[in-house]
Amino acid sequence: MKVLRANMLSAIRQSEYELIKNADYVPPPEAMIEWGDLFLDKAHHLMLVGIGYRTNMDGAKWLQSVVGTDYEVVPILTVGETLHLDCVFSLVGKLLYPDAIEKAEDIELLHSLYSPLKLLTEKQTKKLLANLISVSSKEPHLRTRLIGSPSCPVSKTADATITTVNLSELIKVDGAHRCSIAPLI
């Protein structure tokens, strides 16, 4: 396993670098990349990277140089101040707020890879309903667990359960589930 450190835009978060002493890869200063903008799709050998408010194209290029030919890094341009790609898209929940994606071809790519996608409204997106954590188990008797908001629009299925966590106060300070919870199983 290799440890990749992020380059976070927010000055208040940069002090966390002092705690990360064992990173195998550290991006150069011009390569801004935050992990809320990254989705790893092992099935298609892709890394989807949101390019916008917190992650830039230099960050995506750096990531491609690190992963080499193992994965194709695919930039997905987000609109305006979309905090991270995981605020408007969920691979595991198959959720998308298309108005936050800048290019029509990026929306088409997401639909072609992950259809059917449930489209979110602006109101749902502001509640960070796309921001889900997936806890998968290799044990056949354990089901996948999704951790998300109490009003998460993902249905329970035969192979997945949803554990809801009320983080409504955290949303007010630009935080979300994937940034603040580390589920242990």
The pLDDT tens digits of the residues spanning 59-100 come to 999 999 999 999 999 999 999 888 889 888 987 778 899 999
State the pTM of this model.
0.76
Of 174, 81, 86, residue with least CA distance to 131: 86
Fold for 11-180, please state it. Answer: L-arginine/glycine Amidinotransferase; Chain A (3.75.10)
DSSP string of the chain, one letter each residue: ---B--B-S-GGGGGGGGG----SB---TT--B-GGGEEEETTTTEEEEEESSS--HHHHHHHHHHHTTSSEEEEEEB-TT---GGGTEETTTTEE-GGGBS-HHHHHHHHHHHPSPEEPPHHHHHTTTT--EEE--SSTTSPEEEEE-TT--PPPBTTEEEEE---HHHHTTT--HHHH-----
Looking at residues 109-127, what average pLDDT do you find? 87
Model confidence pLDDT, tens digit, residues 132-176: 655 555 544 344 444 455 555 555 544 556 555 555 554 454 544
Which residues lie across from 175 on neighbouring strands? none
Q: How far apart are CA 118 and CA 68, in angstroms?
A: 32
DSSP string of 56-80, one letter each residue: -HHHHHHHHHHHTTSSEEEEEEB-T
- Predicted pLDDT at 165: 56
Question: In the chain, where are the structural domains located?
Answer: 11-180
Q: For 3, what's the count of Cα atoms within 13 Å in the CB-facing half-sphere? A: 8
Q: How far apart are CA 30 and CA 91, in angstroms?
A: 28
Looking at residues 35-43, what average pLDDT do you find? 88
